[in-house]
């Protein structure tokens, strides 16, 4: 049960076991896709309703990432991925707060599973290097020996440490929060866990923001000038 091993396999998709985490992820992806589809179904020159809200979010994220990364074309290129991270992690974190979560089998935030956060961190890892190569070409390799070739092992360790810390941070926070809520539910079933649940609303949003900002700053470091 610990560290998100597969516990309840629903069915097999070829060699891949499909458990409740994967189904929850599918539901979240479908939800985001459906809302985006309805928001952009018939776009108007003068936006109204959902389209208006989406345009506001997109302009806001573009401005935010441009300010964070200093280069507008890099920010434009990577903002969709980073915003996707944010929405997915936010909805995953909040999916543990739906009434019935914990009682009905298969309601568990996907981000409280080690494998899911590792996957997200690996996507960041590869996009950082893809961003670096597409920005600097082969000169990007020079960034690994940046102050002097002596620093090569340290730089490599740093590259491994980035996805590892992203994984552990998101997993530890959400899993720890779930454990605290479960324990409080066991001690005092009414009202008391509500306080922690309110706190975890804030925590889920902050963790989503932190993952997004850190990914953005790693991409900014890989595409930036100098080192």
Partner 1 sequence: MGVALGAGLAVSIAGLGGGIGMGAAGGKAFEAIARQPEVGGDVRTLLFITLAFIETLTIYGLLIAFMLVGKIQ
* Residues contributing to the site for partner 1 (CB under 8 A): 2-3, 68, 165, 168-169, 172-173, 175-176, 206, 209-210, 213-214, 217
Number of C-beta neighbours around residue 36 at 10 A: 13
Name the residue nearer to partner 1 (CB basis): 164 or 192. 164
Name the residue nearer to partner 1 (CB basis): 51 or 66. 66
Specify the 3-state DSSP secondary structure of 143: helix
Four-residue CA torsion sign, 148, 153, 156, 158: negative
Number of C-beta neighbours around residue 184 at 10 A: 16
Name the residue nearer to partner 1 (CB basis): 93 or 173. 173
**Whole-number minimum distance, CB 120 to partner 1, in Å?**
15
222 Rama class: left (phi>0) / alpha (psi -120 to 50) / beta? alpha
> In this structure, are strands 16-19 and 9-13 parallel, antiparallel, or unpaired?
antiparallel
**Whole-number minimum distance, CB 2 to partner 1, in Å?**
5
Name the residue nearer to partner 1 (CB basis): 30 or 206. 206
**Whole-number minimum distance, CB 165 to partner 1, in Å?**
5
Residues 86 and 77: their CA atoms lie apart, in Å, by: 16
Whether 64 contacts 123, CB under 8 Å? no
Residues 55 and 60: their CA atoms lie apart, in Å, by: 8
What single DSSP character describes residue 17? Answer: E
**Whole-number minimum distance, CB 209 to partner 1, in Å?**
7
**Whole-number minimum distance, CB 172 to partner 1, in Å?**
4
**Whole-number minimum distance, CB 213 to partner 1, in Å?**
6
Name the residue nearer to partner 1 (CB basis): 81 or 221. 221
User: What token pair was written down for 141?
Assistant: 């390799």
Name the residue nearer to partner 1 (CB basis): 31 or 164. 164
Burial class (CB in 10 A: 0-12, 13-18, 19+), 157: exposed
């Amino acid at each position: 049960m610990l560290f998100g091993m597969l516990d309840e396999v629903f069915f097999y998709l070829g060699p891949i076991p499909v458990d409740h985490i994967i189904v929850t992820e599918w539901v979240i992806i479908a939800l985001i896709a459906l809302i985006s589809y309805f928001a952009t179904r018939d776009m108007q020159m003068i936006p109204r309703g959902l389209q208006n809200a989406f345009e506001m979010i997109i302009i806001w994220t573009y401005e935010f990432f441009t300010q964070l990364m200093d280069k507008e074309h890099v920010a434009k290129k990577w903002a969709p991925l980073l915003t996707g991270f944010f929405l997915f992690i936010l909805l995953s974190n909040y999916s543990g707060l739906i009434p019935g979560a914990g009682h009905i089998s298969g309601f568990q935030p996907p981000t409280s599973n080690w494998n899911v956060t590792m996957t997200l961190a690996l996507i960041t890892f590869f996009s950082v290097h893809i961003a670096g190569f597409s920005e600097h070409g082969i000169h990007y390799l020079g960034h690994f020996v940046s102050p002097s070739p002596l620093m090569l092992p340290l730089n490599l360790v740093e590259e491994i440490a980035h996805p590892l810390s992203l994984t552990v941070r998101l997993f530890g926070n959400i899993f720890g929060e779930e454990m605290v809520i479960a324990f409080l539910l066991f001690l005092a079933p009414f009202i008391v866990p509500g306080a922690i649940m309110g706190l975890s609303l804030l925590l889920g949003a902050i963790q989503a923001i932190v993952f997004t900002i850190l990914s953005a700053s790693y991409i900014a470091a890989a595409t930036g000038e100098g080192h």
